[in-house]
């Protein structure tokens, strides 16, 4: 087990149980103590609308505390039929519409606010880790995966697939997630 994120307290905002299990297990594998992983509200009552709705308030809360606490915010939302860039732009618009409209950063480089956007959905990442690295981000793999697979997939990414570096031919949304993960370090 690595200790890359040891001592970090992380708040999770996500749309469903599979996301929650994935993020939580991955963070634990990276050295975050399970007692330092905080859930924002009831995961069972979440959807993408509630993730977008609560994102700005959680970023504001993070910004108030970041100078004196070792904290981070991790957000996860499926791309569904949209692109990763489209979803990222939606987060930027929610956080600061004026900066987003002007194509300016809405998050500073040193902010520990990471946004993970599995495309097509989290089941694609699970399928990639557990069954077929040649899968694609257009097909819906929900029929092959359950929420229980999320923790197993997270362990595979943390302990085997992403140990040194993600394979170059990995899914685009995984490469994007690796860039976002750097924000936590």
What's the rounded Cα separation, in Å, for the pair 162 and 116? 15
Asked if pLDDT for residue 128 goes beyond 60, the answer is yes
Exposure string for 117-146, b = 16+ CB within 10 A, e = fewer = bbbbbbbbbbbbbeeeeebebeeebeeebe
Average pLDDT, the chain: 92
What's the rounded Cα separation, in Å, for the pair 177 and 23? 11
Asked if pLDDT for residue 2 goes beyond 60, the answer is no
Task: Name the pLDDT band for 147 (thresholds 50, 70, 90).
Answer: confident
pLDDT digits (tens, 9 = 90+) for 159-168: 999 888 888 8
Task: Name the pLDDT band for 184 (thresholds 50, 70, 90).
Answer: very high
What's the rounded Cα separation, in Å, for the pair 144 and 78? 17
The better pLDDT of the pair 185, 21 is held by 21
pLDDT digits (tens, 9 = 90+) for 71-106: 999 999 999 999 999 999 999 999 999 999 999 999
Q: What pLDDT does residue 46 have? A: 67
Q: What pLDDT does residue 164 have? A: 80
Please state, as a whole number, how many other Cβ atoms lie within 10 Å of the Cβ of residue 155: 17
Mean pLDDT of all residues in 149-158 = 95
The better pLDDT of the pair 43, 116 is held by 116
**What 3 state SS string does the chain have?**
CCCCCCCCEEEEEECCHHHHHHHHHHHHHCCCCHHHEEECCCHHHCCHHHHHHHHHHHHHHHHHHCCCCCEEEEEECCCCCCCHHHHHHHHHHHHCHHHHHCCCCCCCCCCCEEEECCCCCHHHHHHHHHCCCCCCCCCCCCCCCCCHHHHHHHHHHHHHHCCCCCCCCCCHHHHHHHHHHHHHC
Across the beta sheet with 37-39, the strand order is: 37-39, 9-14, 71-76, 113-116
pLDDT digits (tens, 9 = 90+) for 55-74: 999 999 999 999 999 999 99
Q: What pLDDT does residue 1 have? A: 39
Mean pLDDT of all residues in 14-41 = 93
pTM given for the model = 0.93
Mean pLDDT of all residues in 16-36 = 95
What's the rounded Cα separation, in Å, for the pair 129 and 145? 11
Q: What pLDDT does residue 3 have? A: 64
The better pLDDT of the pair 48, 137 is held by 137
């Amino acid at each position: 087990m690595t200790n890359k994120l040891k001592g970090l307290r992380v708040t999770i905002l996500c749309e469903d149980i599979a996301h929650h299990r994935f993020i939580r297990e991955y963070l634990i594998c990276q050295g975050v103590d399970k007692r330092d992983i905080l859930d924002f509200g009831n995961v069972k009552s979440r959807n993408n609308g509630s993730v977008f709705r609560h994102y700005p308030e959680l970023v504001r809360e993070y910004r108030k505390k970041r100078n004196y606490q070792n904290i981070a915010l991790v957000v996860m939302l499926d791309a569904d039929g949209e692109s990763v860039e489209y979803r990222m732009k939606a987060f930027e618009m929610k956080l600061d519409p004026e900066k987003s409209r002007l194509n300016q950063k809405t998050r500073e480089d040193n902010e520990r606010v990471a946004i993970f956007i599995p495309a097509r959905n989290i089941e694609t990442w699970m399928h990639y880790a557990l069954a077929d690295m040649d899968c694609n981000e257009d097909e819906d793999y929900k029929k092959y995966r359950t929420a229980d697979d999320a923790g197993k997939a997270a362990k595979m990414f943390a302990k085997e697939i992403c140990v040194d570096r993600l394979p170059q031919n990995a899914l685009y949304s995984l490469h994007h997630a690796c860039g976002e993960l750097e924000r936590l370090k």
